[in-house]
Amino acid sequence: MCGIVACRTTDSAPEYLCEALEALEYRGYDSVGIAVQTVGGGALRLRSVHRVAELVERMADLPPRDLTGAGIGHTRWATHGGVSERNAHPHTDCTGSVHVVHNGIIENCEELRTTLVSAGHLFSSDVDSEVIAHLVEDELVRGVDLAAALGHTIELCEGSGAIVVMDSHSGRIVGASRHAPLVVAASPNGTFLASDISAFGPRVASFQVLRDGDVVELAVPVRWTGTNTDWPVAVAHTWAGTELDLHGYPDHMAKEIDEQPELAGRILDRVGADATNGALWRSLELPDFDRVAIVGCGTSLNAGGIVAAAFRRFGIMPAETVIASEAADAVLGPRTLVIAMSQSGETADILHALDGENFAHCQVLAITNNPHSSLARRANAIVECSAGHEIGVAATKTFVAQVLTGVAVAISALHELGRVNRSNTQSILDDLRRMPDLLAQSLTVAKDIVPPLAAELADSLGVIFLGRGAGVVYAAEGALKLKELTYRWAQHYPAGELKHGPLALVEEGTPVVIVDSGGARIAGNIAEVAARGARLITIGGAGSTIPALGRSLLAPVDNGFQPCGPLECVIPMQVLARELALVLGRDVDKPRNLAKSVTVE
């Protein structure tokens, strides 16, 4: 989703801005732009509906200009107004000296725009963000200082968002945010603002996160104003630059799929033992609870479904998943533990859900891959997934990390609450510890069998995914991956539901992927679709189209239930989605219309 960068540096501003924007590309965007102050007090503004690399090429073709080290940049993910150069950021005021980049939505934009237009302001784009430039312009005309002008402007704009403003006359750059991520940092070579710390690269040793009410100016030292009386604490920044390298892989998704078995091993080494002796839960210092609500979106919600099942199955504890964007109607009883599941920790739907009155009495545990995120700051406790930076927009390794971490938290909490049969905890741990091998085995099988299957599906309009029990959530994740990456429809169903309607979709050759976690009932469902000529792809034990679940089916822990369900079945479905996407010529790391960090509701 939209990414903001800004600098006042002794180095080349365009170079820094483009490098930083490239580091934010993983968030997903459809246009890009920068504005850099010129020595004469004007600005060079360059915008493109292509990639950052294209902007870099265009800049190289420009005649040399005298530029200062002050500049701002933006990757846009369109909300208001189509994808065009005129709608790309930075936006300017009527004088052309106020330049603005913005991430978020201004809910009262139409009202503000009408007032500004009737006061004589001229707009040159369709986007809500442009009102900010004109509001700041009005403040400056009244003689208000730039930092205060931004502080007043953000008050006038309803909704959430982060804003950075550059005045090209002075080269001053100020930033502020409300319920949206914006971080600031300093190095010997300058001061920097960004939507997330990956934009800083190896330049800085620490950073500070802006809170609502802060207004920050890029100066030496960084200048803080606004309505808060203290400054936010500095957080150490450990640069993990090599994670951006492909290490010989054709794309990040391929690399991230491959990382999963080893990642599972690392997670279980870290939290496995603490899960079965209760230490993990105790370390969180959260109160006891009687029920669980897991809030999330997309893949994180699917991971939450597996964790909720572990609470229900092993603790006979009521546990449900709540779609974050629909959470306003959720009824959360007393002593409900809310688990907010989010890879990015910046998903606006989740942050908004937690602000709801219906969540006010609940303790919130965040399970996130980003310990510096807005969610991590909002939660009463956090557990990191520690999946490492995931660059592919489609979640793969973070899903596996969320499932394993979440299940470890569930087992640990149930152990402490005395709700899990303690003699069972060792066999649960043993089962969890088999996951790295099971994932590795599944990966080998998937890489061997899936590519030719994917090629066969190139002309199919869509795919049905089926499962039973824990397999249903995995079928949902398989369908989501296929949609995201191939732009073909994909629908999942509990296999038993098929005969109640969806079976009408099945005809000769309809592709149907089935998570076959064993048993007579799923065998019956497989027979139903086979009888109608479906192109069957079963993911199960020996004899399946993709025999990736063999060992997982051998030793179920609790009456056929593994703590994570058939987790390893997700790998063939990830590989299937990626392979089919490649056959169809899609960009597997940056699927169209999608964003890695979804910061609008």
Q: Which of 34, 598, 599, 600 binds ligand AGP (CB under 6 A)?
A: 598
Of residues 545 through 584, those in contact with ligand AGP by CB under 6 A are none
The contact pattern for ligand AGP, residues 469-498, with x = CB under 6 A and - = no contact, is ---------------x--------------
In the set 37, 87, 92, 344, which binds ligand AGP (CB under 6 A)?
A: 344
Q: What is the C-alpha to C-alpha distance for residues 556 and 108, in angstroms, rounded to an integer?
A: 55
Rounded to 5°, angle at Cα 207 from 33 and 137: 45
Smallest distance from the beta carbon of 114 to ligand AGP, in angstroms?
Answer: 33
Active-site pick, 2, 7, 157, 362? 2
3-state secondary structure 474-511: HHHHHHHHHHHHHCCEEEEEEHHHHHHCHHHHCCCCCE
Is 2 annotated as catalytic? yes
The CA distance from 464 to 48, in Å, is: 38
The catalytically annotated residue of 481, 483, 590, 596 is: 596
Nearer to ligand AGP, 214 or 349 (CB): 349
Would you say 150 or 409 has its CB closer to ligand AGP?
409
Told to check if 48 binds ligand AGP by CB under 6 A, we report: no
Q: If binding means CB under 6 A, how many residues of this protein chain bind ligand AGP? A: 14
Please identify which residue in the block is written with the tokens 């199919």.
460
Return the residue nearest ligand AGP (CB atom): 298
Q: Which stretch binds ligand AGP (CB under 6 A): 179-187, 255-263, 298-306, 526-534?
A: 298-306
Name the segment binding ligand AGP (CB under 6 A); options: 47-55, 297-305, 311-319, 328-336.
297-305
C-alpha 27/C-alpha 596 separation (Å) is 4
Q: What phi, psi does 342 have (nearest 5°)?
A: -155, 125
Supply the minimum distance, in Å, between the C-beta of residue 468 and ligand AGP.
23
Find the shortest distance in angstroms from Cβ 193 to ligand AGP: 22
> What are residue 336's DSSP bridge partners?
291
Structure tokens at 164: 């950075």
**3-state DSSP assignment of residue 26:** helix
Least distance from ligand AGP to the Cβ atom of residue 393, Å: 5
Catalytic, 596? Answer yes
Contacts of 261 (CB under 8 A, 6+ apart): 436, 437, 439, 440, 443
Task: Please tell me whether residue 198 binds ligand AGP under the rule CB under 6 A.
Answer: no
Binding-residue pattern over the window 242 to 281 for ligand AGP, x denoting contact by CB under 6 A: ----------------------------------------
Please tell me the distance from the alpha carbon of residue 529 to that of residue 406, in angstroms, as a whole number. Answer: 34
Shortest CB 299 distance to ligand AGP, Å: 3
Q: Which is nearer to ligand AGP, 7 or 490 (CB)?
A: 490
Which residue from 31, 153, 321, 342 is in contact with ligand AGP, where contact means CB under 6 A?
342
Distance CA 139, CA 115 (A): 15
User: Could you say whether residue 92 binds ligand AGP (CB under 6 A)?
Assistant: no
Bridge partners, residue 104, by sequence: 161
Instruction: State yes or no: residue 343 binds ligand AGP (CB under 6 A).
Output: yes
Determine contact, residues 205/237, Cβ cutoff 8 Å.
yes
User: Between residue 300 and residue 319, which ones bind ligand AGP under the rule CB under 6 A?
Assistant: 300
Closest separation in Å from C-beta 445 to ligand AGP: 22
Per-residue binder mask for ligand AGP (CB under 6 A), 406-445, x = binder: ----------------------------------------
Provide the b/e sequence for 77-91 (b: ≥16 CB within 10 Å). bbeebeeeeebbbbb
How many angstroms from the chain centroid is the CA of residue 377?
A: 16
Min dist. Cβ of residue 576 to ligand AGP (A): 14
- What is 116-185 written as a DSSP string? HHHTT----SS-TTHHHHHHHHHHHHTT--HHHHHHHHHHHS-S-EEEEEEETTTTEEEEEEESS--EEE
Chain position carrying tokens 């707009």 = 123
Catalytic residues: 2, 596
